[in-house]
Amino acid sequence: MFGLKPDIAIDVSCEYHSMDDYVNGVAKWCPGCGDHAVLTNVQKLCRDEQLDPKKTVFVSGIGCSSRFPHYMDTYGFHGLHGRAFPVACGIKFRRPDLDVFVVTGDGDCCSIGAGAWIHAVRYNIDMTVLLLNNEIYGLTKKQTSPTSRIGTISNTTPYGSLIPPINPVQTTMGVANVSFVAQTADWNPAHMYETIKAAHAHKGFSFVHILQRCPIFQPVLADKMISERDQFCLLQHENGITLDESASKIFNNKIDHDPFDIGEARNLAEDKKYNYLGLFYQNKNAVRYDEFGAQNLGFTVEQKKAALNVELDKFAV
């Protein structure tokens, strides 16, 4: 036995998960689509955080980015249009032991799912939300979405869209009980990784708005995202997203922003001068609805009946 005593016990219960443990097949998004970068980043985070694939759930709605759960070798739920949030809230409410992610697009979240989105922010149930915003309906081949900017030419607005777009960061920060709002971009894997990592670490509804390239139906925007770097400004603060020197030096524009300051966070979200990347706002003390739901989850049927009778007896006459 090469010096090992035969009665020695080695704990092999701790299983290490490699990247392959989170990968399911080859993603069928178009070449150059920003979704690929988000997927790789999330799989890397799962590996680094050693998330148990059997205790991790990815929930989505409908759209290109909503194919995400198919490519994760975890549990997943590819839902209906705009209905990722109610499904994810239900999962986390009854199974607080699970790690829940929502992947949604601008059409899915900001159009048909807008009502569910607003209330999910307010309920502040612990989950990591990735909104991949390419400013177009990609899956159905180019219709104007709620986040398409004025002048967008598509199948539904052939002479250019007329109505100002929804700003998802601004909208989320306008909801009561908001607890975490950040913005990143698919072309910067280092920043995206740190942002999603911080979102995952936050206990509550972590909303990450990802500026996502669609080179097929938004080629001009996709090109500008790479070629016009001065449109971006990095948010820096000791309470924000930490980025090492080599990753942050590519940004020409940087400002200090304390993410505990919601007034300034809202000002930045409305500011059209830059696309700010980083943590806009965080409130670690916002009320979480899942903490109420987690109470008494271990009750037996008999215990539930007894507890119910105690409550009903209060109204007996």
Site for ligand SF4 in 127-186 (CB under 6 A): 134, 138
Find the length of the chain. Answer: 317
The torsion of the CA quartet 266, 103, 177, 184, rounded to 10 degrees, works out to -30
Separation of alpha carbons 181 and 206, rounded Å: 6
Helix 189-201 and helix 34-48, axial crossing angle in degrees, nearest 10: 50
HSE of 157, CA atoms in CB hemisphere, 13 A = 16
Partners of 207 in the beta sheet?
Answer: 129, 181
Partners of 143 in the beta sheet?
Answer: 137
Q: Per rule CB under 6 A, is residue 217 in the interface with ligand SF4?
A: yes
210 contacts which partner out of Mg ion, ligand SF4, none, CB within 5 to 8 A by kind? none
Amino acid in the structure at residue 246: S
Q: Per rule CB under 6 A, is residue 214 in the interface with ligand SF4?
A: yes
| Nearest residue (CB) to Mg ion, 136 versus 265 | 136
| Nearest residue (CB) to ligand SF4, 212 versus 282 | 212
Tell me how many residues contact ligand SF4 (CB under 6 A): 11
Site for Mg ion in 87-106 (CB under 5 A): 105-106
Cβ 133 to Mg ion shortest distance, Å: 7
Separation of alpha carbons 280 and 251, rounded Å: 17
Partners of 236 in the beta sheet?
Answer: 256
Q: Per rule CB under 5 A, is residue 148 in the interface with Mg ion?
A: no
Q: Which one of the spans 51-59, 169-177, 213-221, 296-304 is the region binding ligand SF4 (CB under 6 A)? A: 213-221
215 contacts which partner out of Mg ion, ligand SF4, none, CB within 5 to 8 A by kind? ligand SF4
How buried is 18 (Cβ within 10 angstroms: 0-12 exposed, 13-18 middle, 19+ buried)?
exposed
217 contacts which partner out of Mg ion, ligand SF4, none, CB within 5 to 8 A by kind? ligand SF4
User: Residues 64, 102, 103, 173: which binds ligand SF4 (CB under 6 A)?
Assistant: 64
| Nearest residue (CB) to Mg ion, 21 versus 135 | 135
Q: Which one of the spans 22-30, 36-44, 133-141, 221-229 is the region binding Mg ion (CB under 5 A)? A: 133-141
β-bridge pairing 127-133 and 99-105 = parallel
| Nearest residue (CB) to ligand SF4, 29 versus 77 | 29
76 contacts which partner out of Mg ion, ligand SF4, none, CB within 5 to 8 A by kind? none
Cβ 145 to Mg ion shortest distance, Å: 5
Cβ 274 to ligand SF4 shortest distance, Å: 24
| Nearest residue (CB) to ligand SF4, 61 versus 293 | 61
Separation of alpha carbons 287 and 282, rounded Å: 13
HSE of 7, CA atoms in CB hemisphere, 13 A = 0
Partners of 205 in the beta sheet?
Answer: 127
Neighbours of 120 (CB within 10 A): 25
Which residues here bind Mg ion, judged by CB under 5 A? Answer: 105-107, 134
Q: Which residues bind ligand SF4 (CB under 6 A)?
A: 29-30, 33, 35, 64, 134, 138, 214-217
